Amino acid sequence: MPTPTDTAAAPIIEFRDVEKRFGDNVVLKDLDFHVNRGERVTLIGPSGSGKTTILRLVMTLEEATDGLILIDGDPLTHRIVDGKRVRLSNREIKRTRTRIGMVFQQFNLFPNMTVIQNITESPIHVLGQSKAEATRRAKDLLHQVGLDDKADAHPSSLSGGQQQRVAIARALAMDPEILLLDEVTSALDPEIVGEVLGILRRIAETTDITMLIVTHEMQFARDVSDRVLMFDGGSIVEDADPDTMFTAPSHERTRKFLKAVLGEGQIGTR
């Protein structure tokens, strides 16, 4: 469990001069930032500003083209050996990867498995939990997301909101230290967004999981975040606590963005 001294020690996520390019297209350049253990950090900014790429780098779905990413002080995909940037072995990458979980915009539940199988598959086969243990934990998580009766249902029979709640339970079943939330409500009907955000709020309140969030739900960002990072063109424009960010942003670019997202006159109303 984290103590204040831990928090002061090593950040749980650290980006050092990270660059990510796809061909000639530079998505992130010389990016430096860190997230402390237990911190909830939301990334905001216009689409194409590199927010989702950051989550995908942390989840190792993409690999940085330059720079280093450290998880709890350990290199994630690359380390520096004799001044050269060297990729870690797949085994080493996997060891760090198991500490990280992700919830996707499109849920990505496995359609060939029931809800409970979706949740227990990796705890059993990757973490080596017994079936009984994994099932007990999965049922507990299903209870937390309000889907006790859906354990044996197929994902295709669930609504989008229910599927996303299963996806949240599935990510939590791996007991991640870091939870990445990638626009988890963007694919949902507006009236369902609330139920998913409610569950995430409760997880934020009742656990100390570090969260890195990309969302367009500014109220949610304001409620759960300890810190908000404003991105534009692959770099950080502004780094502030949510109240400052949403009421008194210091950069013109942030003001413009928030005005566009929240509407005229919204900034500073709270």
Partner 1 sequence: MLENIQATVEAWPFLAQGLWVTIQLTVLGSALALVLAIILGLMAGAQHKALAVPGRIIIEFFRGTSLVVQLFFIFFVLPQFGVDLPGMVVGVLALGLNYGAYAAEVVRGSIASVPRGQWEATTALSMSPVHRMRRVIFPQAWALMIPSLASLMVHLLKGTAIVSVILLQDFTFHLDQLRRVTDTTWAYAVVGLVGYFVLALVLTLVMNALEARAKHRLGRGPSLREILSPTPTSKDNLSTAGSAI
Footprint of partner 1 (CB under 8 A): 59-61, 94, 97-98, 100-102, 104, 106, 108-113, 121-122, 125-126, 154-157, 170-171, 174
Shortest separation between residue 172's beta carbon and partner 1, angstroms: 12
**Is 161 within 8 Å of 194 (Cβ atoms)?**
no
Identity of the residue, 3 or 112, whose beta carbon is nearer to partner 1 in the bound complex: 112
Identity of the residue, 176 or 242, whose beta carbon is nearer to partner 1 in the bound complex: 176
- DSSP-based helix, strand, coil % in the chain, nearest 5: 40, 25, 35
Identity of the residue, 176 or 234, whose beta carbon is nearer to partner 1 in the bound complex: 176
CA atoms within 13 A on the CB side of 20: 27
**Is 178 within 8 Å of 207 (Cβ atoms)?**
no
Annotate 40-105 with DSSP letters as a single string: EEEEE-STTSSHHHHHHHHTTSS--SEEEEEETTEESSEEEETTEEEEPPHHHHHHHHTTEEEE-T
Identity of the residue, 90 or 219, whose beta carbon is nearer to partner 1 in the bound complex: 90
Identify the three-state secondary structure at position 266. Answer: coil
Shortest separation between residue 64's beta carbon and partner 1, angstroms: 16
Sequence-distant contacts of 26-32: CB under 8 A, at least 24 apart: 26/234, 27/53, 27/234, 28/53, 28/54, 28/57, 28/64, 28/234, 28/235, 29/234, 29/235, 30/67, 30/235, 31/67, 31/234, 31/235, 31/236
Spatial separation of the C-alpha atoms in residues 82 and 258, rounded to whole Å: 45
Strands 13-22 and 40-44, sheet pairing:
unpaired
Shortest separation between residue 28's beta carbon and partner 1, angstroms: 19
Identity of the residue, 87 or 94, whose beta carbon is nearer to partner 1 in the bound complex: 94
Identity of the residue, 180 or 199, whose beta carbon is nearer to partner 1 in the bound complex: 180
Residue 37 in tokens: 């253990």
Shortest separation between residue 99's beta carbon and partner 1, angstroms: 9
Shortest separation between residue 234's beta carbon and partner 1, angstroms: 22
Shortest separation between residue 134's beta carbon and partner 1, angstroms: 13
Identity of the residue, 61 or 236, whose beta carbon is nearer to partner 1 in the bound complex: 61
Shortest separation between residue 103's beta carbon and partner 1, angstroms: 8
Shortest separation between residue 118's beta carbon and partner 1, angstroms: 9
Identity of the residue, 27 or 237, whose beta carbon is nearer to partner 1 in the bound complex: 27
